[in-house]
Amino acid sequence: MKSFNTWNLTNNQLHELFKDKNKFISIRVRGNTWEPITRWLRLDSRIFKETTNRPRITLCDIESLAEIYNYRSIRWKAKKLTPLPTKLISKKLKNIFRKLPLIKHLAYELEITFYKYIENYSEQLISIIIPARNEEGNRELFIEALNKFKQISNNIEIIFVEGNSIDNTYSLLEELKANFSDSFKIFLLKQSGKGKKNAVVEGCNISSGETMAIVDSDFTVDIDDSIAAIIESKKNENILINCSRTTFPMEKNAMRWANYIGNRCFAIFISILINKPISDSLCGTKVFSRKFFNLMKKNGSWDSKSDPFGDFTIIFEAAKNNIKILNYPVRYYARKSGAPNISRWVDGLKLLKVCLLYLVSDI
């Protein structure tokens, strides 16, 4: 995607960028600190003469104009930190500096990307992937969720991925498949690998829907909120709905204190890295389009084994591939049965490693 420099555009050229109905537009502007300085150095300012030679366009100006033409911003990032040559500085080091909070706001050039918002009204197929391990005790929650999925007007396929449970989860899923096969097309897989990320990958790989939703089988996220998120996400293929459990007060014992603190720290760290606010970095309920799924498959990130849950990969790759990330507040409850299938400290270190890999990348 070509990036246009605003300081070289005429009034007509700027408007034509948005009138051409491109799906994506990438535009560069001078940073707010450098914009007046560059004009003063060229003596191209009303301070020195009655009129100027070049336009004075800021990030806010571009965002306002884009909204008029029904373009929505995805995010902005620091593209060039200084007008001085930086060839002697390694690319990885420059990538780190471009993400640092104070430095990126003082950058010489900023780049912002927009997408054309077109609402989709078609009744496309929706795939709901539900990884399940040791969830036999949540039988009633499964039944409630499947009954509520009937509220969705679109055709739905349910993909259960059973993770080699030590209880009777597989038998429960077989029963559910038989009882609800008249309402949905249901697939039941036995996971060939280990871990939630692998279960999600195997489920998504056989899905057919244009909209894809990942729903955790403990159903600690309110099922009505999950359904609402799915319904909203199908309106546009260029969004990722990242459900957030930390917006409203959660039920007592829903999330252990250390997990909550870790989640908030990761959310802040990721928000800095992608320059886009993330309120909950580890909510398992996410909804995205097949377009985004295919992009991850194509660049190999989808099959990466570095991320134990897949949540960070989805968020980082959305930012990297110009997918708009939207936080969707949901209600969060304590588990009714079973225990979390995570290793807090070991998995936390793996997640930190994922963040560091993206820290040095050109995201």
Q: What share of the chain has pLDDT > 90, as a percent?
A: 81
pLDDT at 304 over 90: no
pLDDT for residue 339 is more than 80: no
Note the pLDDT of residue 104: 95
Pairing mode, strands 185-190 and 156-162: parallel
Q: Which residues contact 189 (CB under 8 A, 6 or more apart)?
A: 159, 160, 161, 162, 202, 203, 206
The arithmetic mean of pLDDT across residues 329-350, rounded, is 86
- What are the pLDDT digits (tens) for 208-267? 999 999 999 999 999 999 999 999 999 999 999 999 999 999 999 999 999 999 999 999
**Largest Cα span, the chain:** 81
Check residue 106 and give its pLDDT.
95
> What is d(CA 113, CA 66) in angstroms, rounded to the nearest whole number?
10
Is residue 179 predicted with pLDDT exceeding 80?
Answer: yes
Q: pLDDT digit string (tens) for 117-159?
A: 998 877 899 999 999 999 999 999 999 999 999 999 999 999 9
pLDDT at 338: 76
- Mean pLDDT confidence for 291-303: 94
The pairing of beta strand 211-214 with beta strand 126-132: parallel
- What are 83-113's pLDDT values in tens digits? 998 889 999 999 999 999 999 999 999 999 9
pLDDT of amino acid 335: 93
- CATH number for the domain formed by residue range(s) 126-359: 3.90.550.10
The pLDDT of residue 41: 87
Going by pLDDT thresholds of 50, 70 and 90, the confidence category of residue 3 is confident
Q: Which of 30, 104, 32, 114 is nearest to 275 (CA)?
A: 104
Supply the pLDDT for residue 170.
96
Give per-residue burial for 195-227: e unless 16+ CB within 10 Å, then b: bbbbbbbbbbeebebbbbbbbbbbbbbbbebbb
Question: Could you tell me where in the chain the CATH 3.90.550.10 domains are found?
Answer: 126-359
Instruction: Return d(Cα 212, Cα 312) in angstroms, integer.
Output: 17
Average the pLDDT over 303-315 and give the result: 91
Average pLDDT score over the chain = 93
pTM for the complete prediction? 0.93
Split at pLDDT 50, 70, 90, the class of 70 is: very high
